[in-house]
């Protein structure tokens, strides 16, 4: 009987984290959900709740959404998903996780302690970031880092960064949710948990967004790098 309560609390926290940073709900939700429900149920449930988060954030940040920034990322992610499903699956997931995790930790620590200046990045990198996010995400469900690094390195303000992340994750979430539904992964039980937890994840996202509005640009980038480091640690040590 306590399972729905625990799930709701988890998504309240997950929504808050993504409301603040623009990403990271799965980083919080998946490990905690796996303590109360099967991981095969946790993933589609997390995707459903991410629809609530990313839809709200995209609507909230719609003034800062730039199709020229988001479209290449989304289009490049599609072939990336195909490649990731075919080629990268042949490579040891452990090797990929450890390599990417180590890269994330090194890059995040470097950025936190040296505070490199943002710069105008060539548009070609948006296609590369989108492709890598699709490929890595399809290979082992961790496609966020390339997009996050790309936006953090660009000479954009924090609203543009968050809006671009939200728009990209919105596209990915709906695409993955559709695939889950078609493949029968979204069961009645999962949908029931979703209906119970959706108001809590929305509340957490709203509260996180309120806090986000009070965060200065430099501090926001520090939060992003801190979460990237946490992602790297989880990739290395969490199976």
Contact 139, 88 (CB under 8 A): yes
Distance CA(84)–CA(79), nearest Å, equals: 8
* pLDDT, tens only, 79-88: 887 776 666 5
Residue 140's pLDDT band (boundaries 50, 70, 90)?
A: low
Distance CA(123)–CA(53), nearest Å, equals: 27
Contact 27, 16 (CB under 8 A): no
- Average per-residue pLDDT for the chain: 83
* pLDDT, tens only, 44-63: 898 899 999 999 999 988 88
Residue 115's pLDDT band (boundaries 50, 70, 90)?
A: low
Q: What is the pLDDT of residue 219?
A: 84
Q: What is the pLDDT of residue 80?
A: 83
* pLDDT, tens only, 168-179: 988 888 888 888
Distance CA(193)–CA(85), nearest Å, equals: 29
Distance CA(239)–CA(236), nearest Å, equals: 8
Residue 212, judged by CB atoms within 10 A of its CB (0-12, 13-18, 19+), counts as buried
């Amino acid at each position: 009987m306590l399972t729905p309560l625990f799930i709701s609390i988890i998504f309240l926290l997950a929504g808050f984290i993504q409301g603040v940073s623009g990403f990271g709900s799965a980083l919080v939700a998946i490990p905690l959900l796996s303590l109360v429900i099967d991981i095969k149920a946790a993933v589609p449930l997390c995707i459903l709740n991410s629809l609530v988060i990313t839809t709200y954030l995209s609507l909230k940040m719609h003034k800062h959404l730039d199709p020229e920034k988001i479209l290449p990322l989304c289009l490049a992610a599609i072939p990336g998903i195909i490649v990731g499903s075919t080629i990268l699956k042949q490579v040891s997931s452990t090797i990929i996780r450890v390599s990417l995790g180590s890269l994330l930790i090194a890059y995040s620590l470097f950025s936190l302690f040296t505070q490199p200046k943002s710069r105008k990045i060539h548009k070609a990198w948006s296609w590369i970031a989108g492709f890598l996010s699709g490929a890595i995400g399809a290979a082992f469900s961790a496609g966020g880092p390339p997009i996050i690094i790309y936006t953090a390195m660009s000479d954009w303000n924090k609203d543009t960064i968050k809006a671009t992340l939200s728009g990209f994750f919105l596209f990915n979430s709906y695409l993955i949710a559709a695939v889950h539904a078609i493949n029968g992964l979204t069961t009645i039980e999962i949908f029931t948990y979703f209906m119970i937890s959706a108001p809590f994840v929305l509340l957490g996202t709203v509260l996180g967004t309120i806090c986000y509005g009070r965060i200065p640009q430099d501090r926001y980038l520090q939060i992003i790098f801190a979460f990237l480091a946490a992602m790297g640690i989880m990739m290395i040590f969490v199976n």
